[in-house]
Structure 1
Amino acid sequence: MHTPSARQRHIATKSVAARAYAAGSAGVLVAMLLSGCGALPAAPNRPVSYDFGPGPTSYTATDRRAPLPPIALADVEATGLVEGSTAVQYRLAYADAQQLRPYTLARWTQPPVQLVQQALRTQLGQRRPVLQDADAAAQARDTARGGKLPAVLRIELEEFSHVFTAPTDSTGLLRLRATLVDPTPAGETLLGQRVFIVQKPAPTPDAAGGTRALAAAARQVAEEVDEWVGAVVR
């Protein structure tokens, strides 16, 4: 019987060792992959959506006063915001006040102009009819005022952001320009124009606190605009 030489036995031993090493390496790799599954990055969190809250749930005694003349609320325009954006924006005034930054995981349910318009419509509508927009106002007549066209309220939203004056000190800043005009067959007559600026402290230095502050600022500015309109349009 042929007996393997020392060289053949050496080659065979190396081959067996190589196969064993390869099998062991594969097993280690599989074990590493299985044990590493728990260490894989978690799926990113979904953005949280915010609005201004449910609004008034009942009317107060002051809401039952004599109704005021109707007004037409034109679509709110944004002069300092990206059109259609629902991002919650903030500024680090202590570092770079000129840079407007979006929160990564925070969104408004609607663009801010729509939320502000709804806040204004809710407040104005407590004591007066509020027409849908300027186009409806151009066609509507109020018989109680002798057929006179309702005044038109135009709003430009200039600033709507969560402003940090320090890492733990911040406010919700809302600035808008309100313009009242009286439409006539010969054109529009300016009744008044005013800039409203409201700041509300944020309860926490994050998106949740900023949106709460901005919602409070929107409610206050709606009340101030309502009071101003009542003094101008009689």
Structure 2
Amino acid sequence: MNTLQARRTDAPRRARLVAGLSALAILSACSVVSRPDAAMLYDLGPLRTQASSSTQTSQPPTSLPPLSIADVQVPAWLDSSLIFYRLNYANEQQPRPYAQARWSMPPGQLLQQHLKSRLAAAGGAVLSPSAAAANVPVLRIEADDFTQIFSSPTQSTGQVSLRASVFRERTLIAQRSFVRQAPAPAADAGGGVRALAGASDAALGDMIAWLATLNLK
């Protein structure tokens, strides 16, 4: 009888213990989801062809001379994996980062990777600065803007602004700026990423078409 009473007395304690452990597990799971390293990761997506890119208008050339590609330079505030947006209707001077979304690598590296793929697809030979011969032109790119811009709480575009300079040795051969925008399909980080990918493809396509007009041989 004493053993039975003891079991009845311990049952509520065990129930409270199980409930406490379950609550602790739920809280632990929530803390894992909310950690910065649990944020959604994005890149510029697969290489788009002329037919599949609605924002690109320039026809890529069939071939290009060898080029050496320097690291793409970005402003200090863009040199991270944060995805930035601006609320032009509230304060267009303030770039704001998304809390739970990140680029897989900084924008400068994403653009450089995509540019190399585009140049290779266009028939060009892409060389690193260390491997290039002395007479191979060097392409230097500065990205002035790479943000999602909201004109209203529900409407936004991805804006990419690039400045390309071609050098042979230390002599500037040509320089040109490229600015492209693409509409975001949704007013969130995912929509901004898709818009920036489209604007990037268009700007890089314009750049490659321009390079094809230069006498680089």
Q: Could you say what the CA RMSD is over the residues aligned between the two structures, in angstroms?
A: 3.0
| 1:95 aligned residue (90, 94, 100) | 90
Which residue of structure 2 aligns with residue 189 of structure 1?
171
| 1:78 aligned residue (74, 80, 98) | 74
Note the C-alpha offset of 1:81.
3.2
Which residue of structure 1 aligns with residue 44 of structure 2?
52
Name the TM-score, length of structure 1 as normaliser.
0.71
Contact kept? 2:86, 2:92, Cα under 8 Å: yes
Which residues in structure 2 correspond to 1:1-234 (within 5 Å)?
Answer: 37=23, 42-43=30-31, 44-45=33-34, 46-56=38-48, 65=62, 67-79=63-75, 81-83=77-79, 85-125=80-120, 126-133=122-129, 135-137=130-132, 140=133, 149-183=135-169, 188-234=170-216
Note the C-alpha offset of 1:63.
7.7
Contact kept? 1:203, 1:213, Cα under 8 Å: yes
Give 3-state SS (helix, strand or coil) of 1:75's partner.
coil
Q: Give unpaired runs (5+ residues) of structure 2.
A: 1-12, 50-58
Note the C-alpha offset of 1:123.
1.3
Q: Give unpaired runs (5+ residues) of structure 1.
A: 1-26, 142-148
Give 3-state SS (helix, strand or coil) of 1:77's partner.
coil
The separation in 1 between residues aligned to 2:60 and 2:195, in whole angstroms, is 25
Give 3-state SS (helix, strand or coil) of 1:214's partner.
helix
Which whole-Å deviations, capped at 9, do the CAs of 1:133-161 have from their partners, x for residues lacking one? Answer: 3x332xx26xxxxxxx1111100011111
Contact kept? 1:80, 1:159, Cα under 8 Å: no
Contact kept? 1:162, 1:170, Cα under 8 Å: yes
**What one-letter code is carried by the residue in structure 2 that aligns with 1:161?**
T
**What one-letter code is carried by the residue in structure 2 that aligns with 1:229?**
L
| Poorly superposed stretches of 4+, deviation over 6 Å | none
Aligned residues: 190
Decide whether aligned partners of structure 1 residues 111 and 94 sit closer, same or farther in structure 2, where only a CA change above 3 A counts: same
The separation in 2 between residues aligned to 1:170 and 1:119, in whole angstroms, is 23
* RCO higher in structure (CA 8 A, sep ≥6): 2
**What one-letter code is carried by the residue in structure 2 that aligns with 1:152?**
V
The separation in 1 between residues aligned to 2:61 and 2:150, in whole angstroms, is 40
Name the TM-score, length of structure 2 as normaliser.
0.76
Contact kept? 1:176, 1:196, Cα under 8 Å: yes
Decide whether aligned partners of structure 1 residues 195 and 80 sit closer, same or farther in structure 2, where only a CA change above 3 A counts: farther
Note the C-alpha offset of 1:176.
1.2
Give 3-state SS (helix, strand or coil) of 2:149's partner.
strand
The separation in 2 between residues aligned to 1:154 and 1:95, in whole angstroms, is 34
Structure with higher Rg: it is 1
Contact kept? 1:81, 1:158, Cα under 8 Å: no
Give 3-state SS (helix, strand or coil) of 1:157's partner.
strand
Give 3-state SS (helix, strand or coil) of 1:119's partner.
helix
